[in-house]
Amino acid sequence: MWRFAEEFVLGEIDEGLALWKPSVNVCTVHPREGGWVADWPDGDNLPLPEATIAWLLWHIEWWWSDTVSRVKSGPPIAPADHRWTGGTTGIAAAKQQWDELLATADLDTPVDWLMPDPQPLWFIASWVNIELTKNLTEINQVKMRRANLDS
């Protein structure tokens, strides 16, 4: 999935595309000192907002950073505490940290994570790949929507 991300998704994203709003009801990011701050959708207010590509990129960075921290027995990283880097380099850095962690970790080690009970690292690694796949699909949907409006 990472190869797909590098070859077909991440290299085509510029700031204009990342910040493009597919509707008036969106989750996006906002520049602040120290980086970009992301909106967090309120699940009680329907319909849920659409995500900008920038928000989806922030989301990948956040959950990957949070997962790496938890696997290393660090504290969880709250969504409000993660600042988007403003491009795709943060995702590449998070991927490198993840690869380095997996190269030396025992995949059967239980990790306190998002589930009520600790899960083995192999389970979490599977989730990471599924989450990356889902987010890349969402990014491509927004890219296609924008391209179709421009054609």
| Domain extent listing, the chain | 2-150
Q: Where are the beta strands (DSSP E) in 39-136?
A: 50-51, 110-111, 119-120
Q: Tell me which CATH code domain 2-150 carries.
A: 1.20.120
Q: How does pLDDT run across 28-72, given as a tens digit for each residue?
A: 999 998 889 999 988 778 888 999 999 999 999 999 999 999 999
Q: Look at the alpha carbons of 25, 4, 63, 111 in this order and tell me if their dihedral is positive or negative.
A: positive
Do 125 and 107 touch, CB atoms closer than 8 A? yes
Mean pLDDT of 107-131: 93
Of 16-30, 35-49, 76-90, which gets the smallest average pLDDT?
35-49
- For residue 150, is pLDDT > 80? no
Residue 117: predicted pLDDT: 93
Mean pLDDT of 11-37: 93
- Neighbouring residues of 80: CB distance < 8 A, sequence distance ≥ 6: 37, 40
What is the rounded CA–CA span in Å between residue 134 and residue 46? 21
